[in-house]
Structure 1
Amino acid sequence: MAPLPTWPPALTDAQQADLAFQSATYALANGFTLLPVPPKGERVPDIPTQVIAAPLSLLPTPFPRPAYVQAKSIQRLYNALYARVALDWEFLDGIMEQVAPVDDFQAELWNRWKAIRDEIKVTQPIQLGIFRSDYLLHEHGNYVGDKAHIKQVEFNTIAASFGALSQKASEMHRYLSEQTNYFHAHAQLNNPNAFVDNHSLEEISAGLAEGFNAYGNCDAVVLFVVQEGERNVFDQRALEYQLLKRHQIQVVRLTFAQIAQRGKLDDDKMFWLDNPLGKDALEVAVVYYRAAYTPADYTTSAEWDTRVLLERATAIKCPSMALQLAGAKKVQQVLAAPGVLEDMLLARARPDVGFGAGPGSLGQPDAAALRDTWTGLWPLDSSEQGQKALQLAREHPERFVLKPQREGGGNNIYRENIPPYLAHLEEEDKARPGTAPRREAYILMELIEPPTGLHNLLVRGGEGKPRLADVVSELGVYGVALFGGDVAPVNREAGTLLRTKGRESDEGGVAIGISSIDSPLLV
């Protein structure tokens, strides 16, 4: 397989300006947008009157076709794995017993789930997962024979965003190719087979519809639980429009505070919402969380009470509290330990999710395929492995990233910042005698080293002017899984997302303008 091409191809200033104009107008016309950052001291308006194009790349970014195919092909294996984790209470309890003493957020989620899980196993055993598995190309193992290697960054089980905008990015790049021929700057940009056929918007909305149909009441609604002041609203609204247009399913968007005001359980544990615009209350069939993954979403115990109220309902949760716990970084690290993945997939009997990931049952090649995507992962506890990891983190921090049990980005500690941060945690421990060391709330992960020398023209949201950047691209693969109870199981890959950022930034974040929503150009 040929190496990645020199990128981007040469374009004149006039050609770049034309592409910037074409991409901006396409984005604004097709909902490839965000709400702008409000002026300092103001909040996002209740009725928006302005939008900006989402951060984007003017050209798709080259990505090895074998690596893209590999990432898509193993998504069903990952769906099956994390569905099994969510159903294995003993396994989750064993992990959370280690995490809870040093992580108040995970402890609260785990303890609230434990208090009601026997009830919800009877009330609603069906679970819906909309997942995203994120990967980087690894330079040191990038080409082995004809196979390009990907390494997993993380697996997301809650609020896996940008499914709609990622499809729009793919469509935008194909449009630019058809409209401008990219000025014949590179042959691959005029090759229709190099552009991915991405249907993440349709596939994710279809997954929500499958959960809705499993509930069994066509007069019910899907509840989107959202954050107040959400700027990424159009990514979410596109899913709502798709649900109504293709599946005749209505959506209600509410924050935790609004749900507390309008929602209630009846004696049969069905969840109802008062309807201020009509006389009939609305029955909720599916609860889809685009919030609830960060401590900032739970400012008081009232938000936790609302989360438990929803969990106790007959509505199908996406995700359940168990499935959210399954996405903890500690779970990722424990699964990577010798024999644990194999035990989860192959060895002792575990609760059945109702599907394998291919013909027949899961086997040793499936476990090997997953392990092939993993980099080094270690605990930071008092075990032999934990002590080895602590030594590595102090002596060779340039090789590692420190990860807490958090979603949403911006929480990791990188490279040379690791030793002083560990020292800071040790100082905090001195004020907490008799408690577990704070470092045990983290895992140590070997850094993935993406290929160097790849550039692209990126446009920050609302700016319109492209900037040439040395880039790193992270590929996300969506998955849909419906499992548990008597439901006909669903397990499929559901499209892809490419986020591209300047190499100078370790963290991502589309909404804050660090990453751009991109699409792969397969080479």
Structure 2
Amino acid sequence: MSTLPEWPPNISQPELEYLTKLATTYALSHGLLYLPPHLPSGPPPPTQAPSSAIHAPLSIFPSPFPRELFERAQRLQSVYNVLYARIAQDAEFLDRVMGAEVGAGRVDVFTGELWKIWKNLRDDGIEQELQLGIFRSDYLLHVPDESSPMTLKQVEFNTISSSFGALSERVSALHNHLYASTGYFNSSPHLKRENFPPNRTTAGIVDGLVAAHEAYGVKDARILFVVQAGERNVFDQRWLEYELLEKHSIHIIRQTLSELSISAHLSPTRSLLISPSPQFPTNPSTTTEISTVYFRAAYTPTDFPTPQHFSTRALLERSRATKCPSIQLQLAGGKMVQMMLTKEGVLERFLTTGGETWEAGRGFTFGEVEVREVRESWVGMWGLGDSPPADSDIQSGISRAAANHANLVLKPQREGGGNNVYKSSIPPFLDKLPGREREAWIAMELIEPPAGVCGWLVRAGGGGGSGGGGVVKSDIVSELGIFGWSLFGPGRDVNKNGNERVMKTGDGGWLVRTKGRESDEGGVAVGFSVLDSVVLVD
């Protein structure tokens, strides 16, 4: 397939207004929500109880996506689940690529601080037991020219705070509801039940958290959600909390790093304990043991405004609770790791090498087919700090980026959106980038999404006006995210005596974020995208 169907289907203005009313009403009724923007004059977010909500940004129609490539993305996730678990267990590789002595952490202060925490733990002889990764692999469709077939290309791989899982399931349900209610007014032969793929993201992500909690083996322990103060995307997190409690009887504690700097401490056996606090009256009156630390924060420097915040992260890491992710798994999600995997032989080493090195992956073997499909999902990448061999005419990383800037994006070791540099902005950025800092950036060839696809997009809280005024038709680009999880490491199997290597993986559903083609960035939380789903086309 080289083209997608003409999109969106033609409908009348009254039909659009009716679909918009159904969509926003459904979203508000089914928890597809955001907290409204915080007023500077109001109480600070941590102490303000929510009194209102707005619907999340959403699309009226699901976006077309080739069935074969959607299924390939799902198939690839099982490989990625194991690949990044193995990377996280290779200290030598991560030290070289992300460390503060020779890797990206040497010039990226935030990355370097995280690596130092991990290095200090190793120097003290503390090994992580089980580690949990809740992952999301993001893809765009790629059509480099009119004569080329459409392919699937990875944008990035997320190892920390992989968000919008629960809300993505609800926007899928929303589009199913619009179809069930109206048939989308018979506007397209593609809009039929069998082309709406199932999406069980909430239960899939919770399966990973439950596996980690049960492996810890303490019945009354709780899962700790480490969250950001003033989080607007709180409902995406709350749906996971409700699923854990209602389906699995597992209780949650939510605290920020600032709150944990007061409440968290370790027992002599390194159990993570949370002291009771009057701020959290639903917590037990006694100290609570934590089985699993689930980070929905700590991925950006703004989460660490003081040295105390890094000390708190170190305390959590020192505990024997399962971290999601551990620092080493967070480092494995760095852009420099993504780039290094594209180099000859590196991916093969992680996926096809046998023996004791990959004891944690026992039973998870991959061959040439899986390696080829993973490699085919990548575009070209290189480090800005790359230097050519003395006898080579290959350009340095920086000069190569300057010469090819019109087809590139530059990426730092950051998550959360809004950090990249695109196209014509690259040359002046390179002119001002200090030489030493180049080692913390990668250059990545731009993915060329198919042209001619449009959509009706509704901004957050913007669909309630009369006449459908909150809906905008735009040329769009849709990014598919596939969730998965992996529990791995030298942990205690509760069904057996003694310790052994553990590896469990699972699927976690999918997410679509759609943006106007004029926007380079793709973050929903920072206002660039809307939540969407897919209609599969052949």
Q: TM-score range by the shorter chain?
A: over 0.9
For residue 79 of structure 2, the aligned residue among 77, 80, 91 is: 77
Equivalent position to 1:399, from 402, 407, 417: 407
Structure 2 CA distance, aligned partners of 1:349 and 1:444? 34
Instruction: Look up the match of 2:332.
Output: 326
Alignment of 1:475-514 (within 5 A): 475-486=480-491, 487=493, 488-514=502-528
Once residues 523 and 105 of structure 2 are traced to their aligned partners in structure 1, the CA distance between those partners, rounded to angstroms, is 27
CA separation in 1, counterparts of 2:165 and 2:187?
29
Distance 1:110 1:99 in 2: 10
* Cα displacement (A) at 1:98: 2.2
| Contact kept in structure 1, 2:86 and 2:361, CA below 8 Å | no
Cross-structure match for 1:273: 274
Supply the distance in 1 between the matched residues of 2:480 and 2:292 (Cα, whole angstroms): 28
1:33 maps to a residue whose letter is L
In structure 2, the partner of 1:52 is 54
Pairing 1:517–2:531 present? yes
Matched pairs, number: 508
Contact 2:2–2:143 (CA under 8 A) maintained in structure 1: no
Answer yes or no: is 1:311 the counterpart of 2:310. no
**Structure 1: distance between partners of 2:484 and 2:65:** 20
The AA in structure 2 aligned to 1:210 is A
Q: Is contact 1:381-1:387 (8 Å) kept?
A: no
Moved more, 485-494 or 217-226: 485-494
User: Equivalent residue for 2:216?
Assistant: 215
> How far does residue 144 in structure 1 lie from its aligned partner after superposition?
6.6
Q: Once the 2 structures are TM-superposed, how far is the Cα of residue 389 of structure 1 from its aligned partner?
A: 3.1
Task: Give how far 1:260 is off.
Answer: 1.2
Whole-Å Cα distance in 2 between the matches of residues 339 and 383 of structure 1? 19
Residue 419 (structure 1) aligns with: 427
| Structure 2: unaligned runs, 5 residues or longer | 464-469, 494-501
- Provide the C-alpha distance between the structure 2 equivalents of 1:407 and 1:207, rounded to a whole number of angstroms: 22
Q: Is the 8 A contact 2:523 2:529 kept in 1?
A: yes
Question: CA deviation digits over 1:345-382, x for unaligned, max 9?
Answer: 224756326336xx762222221111010000011114
Q: Aligned-pair distance for 1:13?
A: 1.0
Q: Residue type matched to 1:306 in 2? A: T
Match of 1:452 in 2: 451
Secondary structure in 2 aligned to 1:234? helix
Give the CA deviation at 1:512.
3.2
Q: Does 1:301 align with 2:315?
A: no
Between stretches 272-281 and 243-252, larger displacement belongs to 272-281
Verify: 1:338 aligned to 2:344, yes or no: yes
SS at match of 1:107: helix
Q: How far is the alpha carbon of 1:186 from its aligned partner?
A: 1.1
What whole-Å deviation, never above 9, does each CA across 1:266-311 have from its counterpart, x for those lacking one?
A: 1111011112334211110000000000000001110111101011
* 2:440 match: 441
Report SS of the residue matched to 1:489.
strand
Question: Quick one: which amino acid aligns to residue 105 of structure 1?
Answer: F
Q: Which amino acid aligns with 1:371?
A: R
1:253 aligned to 2:254?
Answer: yes
Preserved contact between residue 142 and residue 149 of structure 1 (Cα < 8 Å): no
Pairwise CA distance, 1:472: 0.1
RMSD value, Cα: 1.8
Deviation at 1:183, TM superposition (A): 1.1
User: Closer, same or farther in 2 for the Cα pair 1:118/1:75, shift >3 Å?
Assistant: farther
Q: Sort the Cα spacing of 1:484 and 1:453 in 2 relative to 1 into closer, same or farther, 3 A.
A: same
1:151 aligned to 140, 150, 153, which one? 153
Looking at structure 2, the residues matched to 35 and 462 of structure 1 have their Cα atoms a distance apart, in angstroms, of: 10
Contact 1:346/1:362 (<8 A) preserved: yes
**Distance 1:37-1:475 versus aligned 2 partners, 3 A rule:** same
TM score, norm. by length of structure 2: 0.91
Q: Give the one of 355, 366, 384 matched to 2:370.
A: 366
Looking at structure 2, the residues matched to 382 and 398 of structure 1 have their Cα atoms a distance apart, in angstroms, of 20
Change (3 A) 1:72 1:268: same
CA contact (8 A) 1:141 1:149 kept: no
CA contact (8 A) 1:135 1:152 kept: yes
Percent of aligned positions with the same letter in both sequences? 45
Q: Is the 2:208–2:506 contact (alpha carbons within 8 Å) kept by the matching residues of 1?
A: no
1:120 deviates by: 6.9
CA distance in 1, matches of 2:267, 2:222: 16
Cα displacement (A) at 1:100: 2.1
How many Å separate the matches in 2 of 1:128 and 1:141?
40
Q: Is the 8 A contact 2:224 2:255 kept in 1?
A: yes
Matches within 5 A, 1:82-161: 82-96=84-98, 97-117=102-122, 121-122=126-127, 124-140=128-144, 148-161=150-163
Which segment is superposed worse, 130-139 or 503-512? 503-512
Query: Which digits, 9 at most, give the CA deviation of each residue in 1:234-271, with x for residues without a partner?
Result: 00000000000111000010001111111110111101
- The corresponding residue for 1:231 is 232
Question: Within the alignment, does 1:472 sit opposite 2:480 as a pair?
Answer: no
SS at match of 1:74: helix
Query: What SS does the aligned partner of 1:445 have?
Result: strand
Cα distance 1:353–1:300, how it changes in 2: closer, same or farther (>3 A)? farther
**For residues 500 and 393 of structure 1, what CA distance do their matches in structure 2 show?**
28
Q: 1:503 to 1:256 in 2, by over 3 A?
A: same
Equivalents in 2 of 1:497, 1:143: separation in Å? Answer: 29
Other structure's SS at 1:521 match:
strand
Instruction: Please tell me whether the aligned partners of residues 95 and 331 of structure 1 are also in contact (alpha carbons under 8 angstroms).
Output: yes
Pick closer, same or farther for the CA change 1:234–1:73 going to 2, 3 Å: same
Partner AA of 2:159 in structure 1: T
Q: Deviations over 1:41-82 (max 9, x none)?
A: 544362001100000000100000011000000101111111
- Does structure 2 retain, via aligned residues, the 8 Å contact 1:211–1:286? yes
Change (3 A) 1:216 1:332: same
Q: Is the 8 A contact 2:82 2:364 kept in 1?
A: no
Structure 1 residues not aligned, in runs of 5+: 430-436
Amino acid at match of 2:329: L
